[in-house]
A and B are shown apart, each in its own frame.
Chain A
Amino acid sequence: MGHYLGIDLGSTTTKAVLIDGAGKVQGFGLTNTRSSYEVAAAIARGEALADAQLSRIEAELSRLGQSAAELGAEVRRAYRVEVAAGRLASLRARTLELARATPKGDGAAQKLEALFAKMLADATPLFSPLAADRSRFFRDVVAARFLSEAEELAQAREISFELAMGAFDRAVVEMENTEVAAELGPTLERAMARARFSPAKAQAVAEARGAVERQPLEVSRMVGTGYGRQRLPFPKEQIRSEILCHGLGAHALFSKTRTVLDIGGQDTKAIQVDEQGVVTSFQMNDRCAAGCGRYLGYIAEEMNLGIHELGPLALTATRAVRISSTCTVFAGVELRERLSLGERRENILLGLHRAIVLRAMSLLARSGGVKDEFTFTGGVARNPAVVRELQSLIDRHYGERRLNVHSDSIYTGALGAALFAQRQGEA
């Protein structure tokens, strides 16, 4: 049975979803979007395929009578750590090369080598969170750790901070834009060795893998969507607007969906769909990205918080500060101004979240209102404060509506694209 792949090349993240001929999801892939869209798409695709293979291995393990849930999760975690460790090793090589090329670089390279050795030794604790939280990316985890280590070395006058960060920044960008997806088999072997799987466990996994690999996973067709879709190396007929993809994806997740709100990195879209998931009307923001995901990104940076921490913190507010502007460019100014007036951080945050929702409400109204059921998709749908504010404003303006947020909502566009690929494949 053929498989179908959808790739959603967004402004912040690139998503891939693999489905089987019955439309059932087999694998997810998620990575940060880089300047090379092809690489981002290839990585996401590779991740989705690996994810699907790991699921098949998991299924095979349970067929073999192993405690699949446990061992499967263990395999997945080890695999993700191993992929990241492999990337860290290439990053080390390139960073050292760049450091050596600078004046007095040899000494610095030596120090950096030791720094990387420390990080590599810590690979398992360092990268385990990557397996648990998909909103974290390799670059963020590695950069945070490297920064703190380099700062320490610089304070001890062992290394020039500028030199270290300069080499690291360049290397990480270069690597991100040239790297290829990891190969499943060898990576898995190394992963099990690193995680010290018992011989019996390793044997079981190898057997399951062998069974899975005897039936190769074949992608019959791909469809690309998202902000960067024009630059995907796909023929024109395999490219679909993300508006259609979000409509169809939301319909697939919640079949009674009639209105979809998607808040992505730099676009907000309000979409109306019919009972087949066919788009009947839509509105989106104009060239200004005010109130989109990127806005929250800047706010998080300003507050020195992770983007996933914003929503929960906003929910602890006692009241919402009135925020007039959702301009992404002025997000920081707005925030600092309120802080200087003595407002509490969480109250400001709640106000910022409400401002985003108000902007989305205007697009929803212009697209034809909010009908039942209402599905919220995109990265911002994972923010609980946005969801709560949205629900309350919709209840107030449109009456009671069922609000659907899927735990995999970030993949909605890619899922829609995969479903389009399936339709094309069957036509």
Chain B
Amino acid sequence: MSATRPTTSAQKDISMERQKAMLARHFQELSKVRETGRKVAYTFVPGNLTELISEAGMLGVYPEINALQSGMRQRSADFIHEAERLGHNEDVCTYVKCDIGMLTKGNIGPTGEKLPPPDLLLLSYTGCFTFMKWFELLRREYHCEIAMLHVPYAADGQPTEAMRQYIAKQLRNEVIPKFEKVSGKKLDLDSLAARLRRSALAEEDLSWVLESAKKKPSPIDAYFGAVYYVGPIFTAFRGGEDCIGYYRALRQEVKSRLEHGEGPVTPDGTLAKERFRLVVEGPPNWTHFRDFWKIFYEEGVVFVASTYTKVGGLYDRGFRHGAEKDPLLSLADYCLSCYTNLSLPARVDLLERYVREYAADGFIFNSIKSCKSFSAGQLVMLREVEKRTGIPGAFIESDLVDPRYYSQANIKNRVESYLQMLDQRRRA
């Protein structure tokens, strides 16, 4: 029996096509900056200040996204090898090595067009220490302006007022002046505030889409499907009309699937029967994305919630850009509340809530070999979620973009064993 059936909904590709077109336009604009004179900022996804970049009339480049795209296009192994040849250790974050390798080999982006060098390196999130080291490497290469925003880690679970003010002050005194210097344009705070309110429109629709997974059967896969859904809002498009349009269309698409009682769309068609509802912690593997996904959809697994799709904003927990009148405080709240900035207990709380609110049968951790900062403590987290929910969890290991750390047979074995174990519990 096949777990999937051919997709009937003609709607399925509209949002996907729309996103593709948006990306193509963006990379085309990037390839033309020498003619247009537009300035370029390189920045990371967690805590990204995309609205600020757009407001300054600049274009964003997201090295992590380039790395994951290289992984999906089977280029990362070469890039990583190149970086290792330059002396980067086997243990170094593979996103970094993939990016450095890509840069060394001509900096050709995912669309085949050459990426322009940065005019500004904007380090807007410091919770991942590797980000700092990554930008140190890029600065050595590019000798451009650099702006660093220090985001305090919310160790006690909740950001404090002092943390918010501290971030707003840095934005005002350090980051914005840098932007103005690079772009040659005075920043209009009212216009920024309006842009943030536009971001919130898309955030509203995305949250609706993610929460649709509470329905049985879920119309979406909140992991393998949702990594596409969060694409525009996590990157260069948030705050723009394109982004609003994309999420409106996506919401319509999901609404229609919901009305027809349809499950998520997989590469092999619509999932016919939802057998297991799982919550997942950690990013997917990108080099074997489809094979990795297949292990799950073949068994009728639907991911109903994931933490990875919250690394660029916890919108489903209510955060909205522009909710705060002062746009700088709004940005501060955003940076502080991204999933990457949560403490281990806060991450456990979130996972527990997901398991309960989405009526999950189980949960799984995909631990990333080369990501020390995010993988540390995951086993303890797993045990704690098990204790609180009374449901056993599963632990698998792979990597972001280093294919050497991915073993299909091993992961399949563990996942199948886990699902059979859940099944056995269900029968008992």
Q: Which residues of A does B touch, CB under 8 Å? A: 227, 230, 236, 240-244, 276, 278-284, 286-287, 366, 368
Q: Can you list 19 A-B contacts with CB-CB less than 8 angstroms, sorted by A residue number?
A: A240-B420, A241-B413, A241-B416, A241-B420, A243-B420, A276-B428, A278-B424, A278-B425, A279-B421, A280-B392, A280-B421, A281-B386, A281-B392, A282-B417, A282-B421, A284-B410, A284-B413, A286-B397, A366-B379
Q: 1/0 contact trace for B397-412 toward A, CB 8 Å?
A: 1000000011101101
Query: Chain B residues near A242 (CB, 8 Å)?
Result: 413, 417
Query: Chain B residues near A284 (CB, 8 Å)?
Result: 410, 413-414
Determine how close the nearest CB of chain A comes to the CB of B209; give it in whole angstroms.
33
Interface presence of B131 (CB below 8 A):
no
Which residue of B383, B407, B414 has the most chain A CB atoms within 10 A of its CB atom? Answer: B414
Which residue of A227, A284, A368 has the most chain B CB atoms within 10 A of its CB atom? Answer: A284
Q: Complex: how many Å from CA A414 to CA B268? A: 34
Determine how close the nearest CB of chain B comes to the CB of A368; give it in whole angstroms.
8
Query: Chain B residues near A282 (CB, 8 Å)?
Result: 417, 421
User: What's the dominant secondary structure at chain A's contact region?
Assistant: mixed
Contact across chains for A244 and B417 when beta carbons are under 8 A apart: yes
Contact across chains for A243 and B397 when beta carbons are under 8 A apart: no
Interface presence of B208 (CB below 8 A):
no
Query: Chain B residues near A230 (CB, 8 Å)?
Result: 412
Q: Complex: how many Å from CA A427 to CA B421? A: 18
Q: Complex: how many Å from CA A287 to CA B409? A: 8
Query: Chain B residues near A286 (CB, 8 Å)?
Result: 397, 407, 410
Contact across chains for A243 and B407 when beta carbons are under 8 A apart: no
Determine how close the nearest CB of chain A comes to the CB of B361; give it in whole angstroms.
15
Query: Chain B residues near A278 (CB, 8 Å)?
Result: 421, 424-425, 428
Contact across chains for A283 and B395 when beta carbons are under 8 A apart: yes
Q: Complex: how many Å from CA A242 to CA B386? A: 23
Query: Chain B residues near A368 (CB, 8 Å)?
Result: 383
Query: Chain B residues near A240 (CB, 8 Å)?
Result: 420
Contact across chains for B407 and A287 when beta carbons are under 8 A apart: yes
| Residue of A with least CB distance to B416 | A241
Residues of B in contact (CB 8 Å), total: 22
Query: Chain A residues near B413 (CB, 8 Å)?
Result: 227, 241-242, 284
Q: Complex: how many Å from CA A244 to CA B413? A: 11
**Known contacts A280-B392, A284-B414; is A244 also within 8 Å of B424 by CB?**
yes
| Residue of B with least CB distance to A279 | B421
Query: Chain A residues near B424 (CB, 8 Å)?
Result: 244, 278-279
Residues of B346-395 contacting chain A, CB below 8 A: 379, 383, 386, 392, 395
Q: Complex: how many Å from CA A242 to CA B421? A: 11
Query: Chain A residues near B420 (CB, 8 Å)?
Result: 240-241, 243-244
Out of A244, A276, A287, A366, which one reaches B421, CB within 8 Å? A244
Query: Chain A residues near B414 (CB, 8 Å)?
Result: 284
Out of A227, A241, A280, which one reaches B417, CB within 8 Å? A241
Query: Chain A residues near B410 (CB, 8 Å)?
Result: 284, 286-287
Q: Complex: how many Å from CA A287 to CA B406? A: 8
**Known contacts A286-B410, A366-B379; is A243 also within 8 Å of B425 by CB?**
no
Q: Which residues of B does A touch, CB under 8 Å? A: 1, 379, 383, 386, 392, 395, 397, 405-407, 409-410, 412-414, 416-417, 420-421, 424-425, 428
Q: Complex: how many Å from CA A283 to CA B425? A: 18
Determine how close the nearest CB of chain A comes to the CB of B420; give it in whole angstroms.
5
| Residue of B with least CB distance to A248 | B424
Out of B409, B417, B428, which one reaches A243, CB within 8 Å? B417
Query: Chain A residues near B421 (CB, 8 Å)?
Result: 241, 243-244, 278-280, 282
Query: Chain B residues near A227 (CB, 8 Å)?
Result: 409, 413
Q: Complex: how many Å from CA A278 to CA B414? A: 16
| Residue of A with least CB distance to B412 | A230
Determine how close the nearest CB of chain A comes to the CB of B91; give it in whole angstroms.
15
Query: Chain B residues near A279 (CB, 8 Å)?
Result: 417, 421, 424
10 further contact pairs, Cβ within 8 A, besides A240-B420, A287-B406: A227-B409, A230-B412, A241-B416, A243-B417, A243-B421, A244-B417, A278-B425, A284-B410, A287-B407, A368-B383
Complex A-B, nearest 5 residue pairs according to Cβ-Cβ distance, in ascending order: A287-B407, A241-B417, A243-B417, A279-B421, A287-B410
Q: Complex: how many Å from CA A368 to CA B410? A: 20
Query: Chain B residues near A366 (CB, 8 Å)?
Result: 379, 395
Determine how close the nearest CB of chain B comes to the CB of A38; give it in whole angstroms.
18
Determine how close the nearest CB of chain A comes to the CB of B272; give it in whole angstroms.
15
Q: Complex: how many Å from CA A242 to CA B410? A: 12
Q: Complex: how many Å from CA A280 to CA B424? A: 10
Q: Complex: how many Å from CA A281 to CA B412? A: 16
Query: Chain A residues near B425 (CB, 8 Å)?
Result: 278
Q: Complex: how many Å from CA A368 to CA B383? A: 9
Q: Complex: how many Å from CA A230 to CA B407? A: 15
Determine how close the nearest CB of chain A comes to the CB of B415; give it in whole angstroms.
9
Query: Chain B residues near A276 (CB, 8 Å)?
Result: 428
Query: Chain A residues near B428 (CB, 8 Å)?
Result: 276, 278
| Residue of A with least CB distance to B414 | A284
Which residue of A236, A244, A284, A287 has the most chain B CB atoms within 10 A of its CB atom? Answer: A287
Query: Chain A residues near B405 (CB, 8 Å)?
Result: 287
| Residue of A with least CB distance to B408 | A287
Which residue of A227, A241, A243, A278 has the most chain B CB atoms within 10 A of its CB atom? Answer: A241
Q: Complex: how many Å from CA A256 to CA B291? A: 39
Query: Chain A residues near B416 (CB, 8 Å)?
Result: 241
Q: Complex: how many Å from CA A32 to CA B406? A: 28
Q: Complex: how many Å from CA A287 to CA B425? A: 27
Q: Complex: how many Å from CA A283 to CA B392? A: 12
Determine how close the nearest CB of chain B comes to the CB of A170; give it in whole angstroms.
28
Determine how close the nearest CB of chain A comes to the CB of B16; give it in whole angstroms.
31
Q: Complex: how many Å from CA A143 to CA B131? A: 58
Query: Chain A residues near B407 (CB, 8 Å)?
Result: 286-287
Determine how close the nearest CB of chain A comes to the CB of B410; give it in whole angstroms.
5
Q: Complex: how many Å from CA A257 to CA B1? A: 36
| Residue of B with least CB distance to A243 | B417
Q: Complex: how many Å from CA A240 to CA B419? A: 11
Q: Complex: how many Å from CA A72 to CA B405? A: 53
Query: Chain A residues near B392 (CB, 8 Å)?
Result: 280-281
Q: Complex: how many Å from CA A283 to CA B418? A: 10
Query: Chain B residues near A281 (CB, 8 Å)?
Result: 386, 392
Determine how close the nearest CB of chain A comes to the CB of B295; give it in whole angstroms.
12
Determine how close the nearest CB of chain A comes to the CB of B288; give it in whole angstroms.
12
Determine how close the nearest CB of chain A comes to the CB of B393; give it in whole angstroms.
8
Determine how close the nearest CB of chain A comes to the CB of B168; give it in whole angstroms.
43
Q: Complex: how many Å from CA A368 to CA B425? A: 18
Q: Complex: how many Å from CA A32 to CA B205? A: 58
Q: Complex: how many Å from CA A207 to CA B100? A: 79
Q: Complex: how many Å from CA A237 to CA B409? A: 19
| Residue of B with least CB distance to A284 | B414
| Residue of B with least CB distance to A365 | B379
Determine how close the nearest CB of chain A comes to the CB of B294; give it in whole angstroms.
13
Q: Complex: how many Å from CA A6 to CA B256? A: 47
Query: Chain A residues near B1 (CB, 8 Å)?
Result: 236
Query: Chain A residues near B379 (CB, 8 Å)?
Result: 366
Q: Complex: how many Å from CA A266 to CA B347? A: 34
Determine how close the nearest CB of chain B comes to the CB of A328; give it in whole angstroms.
15
| Residue of A with least CB distance to B407 | A287
| Residue of B with least CB distance to A289 | B410
Determine how close the nearest CB of chain A comes to the CB of B407; give it in whole angstroms.
3
